Structure 1
Amino acid sequence: MKRQVLRMAAVLLLAVLLGSLLIGTAVAQGSTKRVGLVVRFGDGTQHLEVVTVPANATALDVLNASALDVETKDYGGGFVALCRINAFGCPANDCFCQAESWAFWLLNASGTDWDMAPTGIAAYTPADREVIGFSWTGWDASWNPLVKPPVYTFEQLQPPAEVPEPATLALLGSGLLALGGYVGLRRRAR
């Protein structure tokens, strides 16, 4: 009878630990989003990244959270200009020093082409798994950009799925706890 109570307690403890792990993971995932980032530099090289940011992050926040070195200029009124990414562009104190500048793009719904963003980087809030792009480009007489970034869907950008480290540790810990409980029960049974 005592062994049955101990086994039931061990199973209940394991169920509670696994349940809290699943709930904690779901809550943690709900407060962030992942955004695909595609950048085409002036020399034709590209930068591809999936950036994890808070759920309410703007395109500017995505750039700042990325592995890129970004310089911007806040002109006020919600207009933030993208001056430089890594070595391409102009310093923030002279953001439009060249005929070329950074164009901001959104991957269309079918994932086959880029559309110009309808707002600036500080005003646009990308959705989870959306892909945003930037290209260093010249402009035609009607101010249409001449160069687009290469097309990559979110699925093409994302690395293989990994188990988040806290969840892995919690799962390992609960497994070790259950194993320890089992060994303890076996020893007492002898």
Structure 2
Amino acid sequence: MKDRRRYRRAFAVLFAFFAALVGTAVPAGASAAVSWTEGPCGGTPGITVVADLTKFPGGKVIRRCDTGSPATAFAALADVGLSPEHGTGQGQNGPYDYLCRIDGHPTAAEDPCTGFVPDGGYWAFWVPDTAGANWTYALEGVDTYHPASGAVLGFSFGAGTASDPNAMSLTLAQAKDPNGNPPR
């Protein structure tokens, strides 16, 4: 009987230890802390994330280096502290998610993120062209694009019209240059 109690106590202590250990683990769905630096990655491994907020009052270009290995472009935005948000719309093939907000822009009052508005502004996603010289519109969405180390990701806001173009306000070379002075 004494041995049985000893085993139960040992089991209880081990169980408590493992329960405490599991309790300190990162919960499912949460990500561990990711480090990033201001400016482009330059010669270091990582993903350069460029968010062009110049279409918004007081907006500027934000360039940050995600020093981790984000699984998607959306994750890279989150990793560098730009708080991306999905919007959900209804299309011919059913509901869809899209990139609705970066760093609080547009505000919820400006766009409730319930679907694309005809001739309305949206976040465009840009990557370098095959020559690596200019921005080109990404052929994949932010949730399916898997950036490789050294990638440069660009995001700009606009309606894509003559009066509200949706293009990056800085060149790819400016985005990658650690000494460059992107437009303010």
TM-score bracket for the superposition, by shorter chain length: 0.5 to 0.7
1:50 aligns with 2:62: no
Q: TM-score, normalised by structure 1?
A: 0.53
* 1:122 Cα offset (Å): 0.5
Give the aligned partner of residue 47 of structure 2: 35
* 1:87 Cα offset (Å): 3.1
User: Per-residue CA shift, 1:31-64, capped at 9, x if unaligned?
Assistant: xx61011111123511000112336x11111111
**Contact 2:88 2:114 (8 Å CA) reproduced:** no
Instruction: Measure, in 2, the Cα distance between the counterparts of 1:157 and 1:111.
Output: 17
* 1:148 Cα offset (Å): 1.9
Distance 1:113 1:79, change over 3 A: farther
Give the aligned partner of residue 88 of structure 1: 105
| 3-state SS in 2 of match to 1:61 | helix
In the alignment, structure 2 segments of 5+ residues that lack a partner are 1-44, 180-184
In the alignment, structure 1 segments of 5+ residues that lack a partner are 1-32, 159-190
Give identity over the alignment, percent. Answer: 25
- In structure 1, give the amino acid aligned to 2:129: N
* 1:79 Cα offset (Å): 5.1
Instruction: Measure, in 1, the Cα distance between the counterparts of 2:105 and 2:135.
Output: 21
1:105 aligns with 2:143: no
Distance 1:128 1:146, change over 3 A: same
| 3-state SS in 1 of match to 2:67 | strand
User: Per-residue CA shift, 1:133-168, capped at 9, x if unaligned?
Assistant: 000111249xxx92322224575249xxxxxxxxxx
Instruction: Measure, in 1, the Cα distance between the counterparts of 2:176 and 2:103.
Output: 25
- In structure 1, give the amino acid aligned to 2:49: L
- In structure 2, give the amino acid aligned to 1:126: P
Instruction: Measure, in 1, the Cα distance between the counterparts of 2:178 and 2:48.
Output: 7
| 3-state SS in 2 of match to 1:60 | helix
1:146 aligns with 2:165: yes
Instruction: Measure, in 1, the Cα distance between the counterparts of 2:66 and 2:74.
Output: 12
Distance 1:93 1:140, change over 3 A: closer
Alignment of 1:175-186 (within 5 A): none
Q: TM-score, normalised by structure 2?
A: 0.54
- In structure 2, give the amino acid aligned to 1:147: N
Distance 1:84 1:75, change over 3 A: same
Which has the larger Rg?
Answer: 1
Alignment of 1:98-177 (within 5 A): 99-140=120-161, 146-149=165-168, 150-153=170-173, 156-157=177-178
Instruction: Measure, in 2, the Cα distance between the counterparts of 1:121 and 1:156.
Output: 24
Give the aligned partner of residue 4 of structure 2: none
* 1:78 Cα offset (Å): 10
**Contact 1:136 1:147 (8 Å CA) reproduced:** yes
Distance 1:34 1:80, change over 3 A: farther
Alpha-carbon RMSD: 3.2
